[in-house]
């Protein structure tokens, strides 16, 4: 029996293409005397965070950007961290500040994020950035949902009038994702852990974004044939292999498009961090097209 197979949206290939464009714009900006700079702050020894920050710093170098990685012991005080953020807010060589989350429990992450200058908030986590997205003003968009939007753009998907279902309501992915989809005139449903019948919603969806951090949240019986499925999840299966929130094998027989894990949304997150940092530098240099 032949089965329909979803087309893959390749996050590595799209990232490579976007990063080539970023590198060219970095070169152009450097020729005018401005080198885009990202500061990454890591507090503590979280193993996953160490991998993430290393990749962020490495990716900056690959596109010709300046970056600094500041690593601090888990015992760092909140006051000391705020002082570092303040110094970076005033450092003209730094256009983006990223404080890697999670932070140790004794530090109020919200307080630290609100201390970052909105002009350098390349993670898009500041309340000013969230507010700007909400009301459609220029500002930094959180990198993961921004990457998802670029993936939809890459397949020429027109969201206007389409029904999008976002599974997950985090401040980092679910909520900003819903706002971005809404801004493109999709009809948006946000589902979460208290949604009684998830399948009833997803079966109606033209686009599904799964962002809960739990395996097999979305299975083939929950997907309308031809739907576009974006998988933001990063989990491990029983064999320890990286997998997303979506049952990839099953869903790819029903969906029209699907993002793999790994090699889907993941690489796009760092790519959009580079884009945000570049745009911050372009704005600082007085030549940014507004978002
Ligand atoms: N922790 C996990 N993902 C992220 C991210 O995108 N930004 C920051 N700052 N911390 C994270």
pLDDT at 287: 74
Confidence of residue 4 (pLDDT cuts 50, 70, 90): confident
DSSP state for residue 289 in the 8-state scheme: P
Ligand 1 midpoint to CA 171 (Å): 11
Indicate which residues carry an active-site annotation.
56, 100, 123
Instruction: Give the ligand 1 atom nearest the CA of 102.
Output: 1
- pLDDT by residue (tens digit) across 93-134? 999 999 999 999 999 999 999 999 999 999 999 999 999 999
Q: Which atom of ligand 1 is nearest to the CA of 98?
A: 9
Helix 47-62 with 265-284: angle, nearest 10 deg:
60
Cα–Cα distance list, 209 to 3, 25, 117, 123, 143 (Å): 23, 30, 30, 20, 15
The CA 172 to ligand 1 mean position distance, Å, reads 8
Q: Which of 100, 113, 276 to mutate to test the pocket of ligand 1 (most atoms within 8 A of CB)?
A: 100
**pLDDT for 145-188, tens place per residue?**
999 999 999 999 999 999 999 999 999 999 999 999 999 999 99
Mean predicted confidence (pLDDT) in 256-281: 98
Pick the residue whose CA is nearest to atom 3 on ligand 1: 101
CA atoms of 119 and 139, how far apart (whole Å)? 8
For 71-140, give the DSSP string: EE-TT--HHHHHHHHHHHHT-TT--EEEE-SSPPTTS-HHHHHHHS-GGG-TT--SHHHHHHHHHT-S-P
> Cα of 101 to ligand 1 centre, how many Å?
5
CA 100 to each of CA 23, 48, 125, 207: distance values in angstroms, whole numbers, following the listed order: 24, 10, 11, 30
| Ligand 1 pocket mutation pick from 123, 146, 274 by most atoms within 8 angstroms of CB | 123
Question: Residues with beta carbon inside 6 Å of ligand 1?
Answer: 98-101, 123, 143, 269
DSSP 39: E
> Which residue of 172, 213, 273 sits with most ligand 1 atoms within 8 Å of its CB, as the best mutation to test the pocket?
172
Asked whether residue 289 carries a pLDDT value surpassing 90, the answer given is: no
pLDDT at 3 over 90: no
Residue 2 has what pLDDT? 53
Residue with CA closest to ligand 1 atom 11: 101
Please state, in angstroms and rounded to a whole number, the distance separating the CA atoms of residues 210 and 229. Answer: 8
Contact (Cβ atoms closer than 8 angstroms) between residue 102 and residue 72: no
Expressed in angstroms and rounded, the spacing between residue 200 Cα and the centre of ligand 1 is 31
pLDDT above 70: percentage of residues in the chain? 98
Phi first, then psi, for residue 96 (nearest 5°) are: -140, 135
Q: In the prediction, which pLDDT does 53 show?
A: 97
Ligand 1 atom closest to the Cα of residue 49 is 1
Question: What average pLDDT score do residues 267-287 get?
Answer: 95
For the CA of 143, the closest atom of ligand 1 is 6
The pLDDT tens digits for 23-38 are 999 999 999 999 999 9
User: Which protein residue's CA is at the shortest distance from atom 8 of ligand 1?
Assistant: 100
* Average pLDDT over every residue of 127-145: 98
Give the chain's domains with CATH numbers.
Answer: 33-117 (3.40.50.10860), 142-266 (3.40.50.720)
């Amino acid at each position: 029996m032949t089965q329909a197979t979803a087309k893959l949206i390749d996050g590595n290939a799209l990232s490579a293409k976007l990063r080539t464009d970023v590198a060219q714009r970095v070169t152009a900006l450097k020729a005018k005397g401005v080198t885009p700079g990202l500061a990454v702050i890591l507090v503590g020894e979280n193993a996953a965070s160490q991998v993430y920050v290393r990749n962020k710093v490495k990716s900056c170098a690959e596109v010709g950007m300046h970056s600094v990685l500041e690593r601090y012991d888990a015992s760092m005080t909140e006051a000391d961290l705020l002082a570092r953020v303040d110094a970076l807010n005033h450092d003209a060589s730094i256009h983006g500040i990223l404080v890697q989350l999670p932070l140790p429990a004794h530090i109020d992450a919200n307080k630290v994020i609100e201390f970052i200058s909105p002009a350098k908030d390349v993670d898009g986590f500041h309340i000013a950035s969230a507010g700007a997205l909400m009301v459609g003003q220029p500002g930094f968009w959180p990198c993961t949902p921004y990457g998802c939007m670029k993936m939809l753009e890459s397949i020429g998907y027109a969201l206007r009038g389409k029904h999008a279902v976002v599974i997950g309501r985090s401040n980092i992915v679910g909520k900003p994702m819903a706002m971005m989809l809404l801004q493109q005139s999709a009809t948006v449903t946000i589902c979460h852990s208290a949604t009684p019948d998830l399948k009833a919603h997803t079966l109606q969806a033209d686009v599904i974004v799964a962002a809960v951090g739990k395996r097999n949240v979305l299975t083939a019986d929950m997907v309308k044939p031809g739907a576009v499925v974006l998988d933001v999840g990063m989990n491990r299966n029983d064999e320890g292999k990286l997998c997303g929130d979506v049952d990839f094998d099953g869903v790819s027989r029903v969906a029209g498009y699907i993002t793999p894990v790994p090699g889907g949304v993941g690489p796009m997150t760092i790519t959009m961090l580079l884009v945000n940092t570049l745009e911050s530098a372009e704005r600082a240099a007085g030549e940014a097209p507004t978002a």
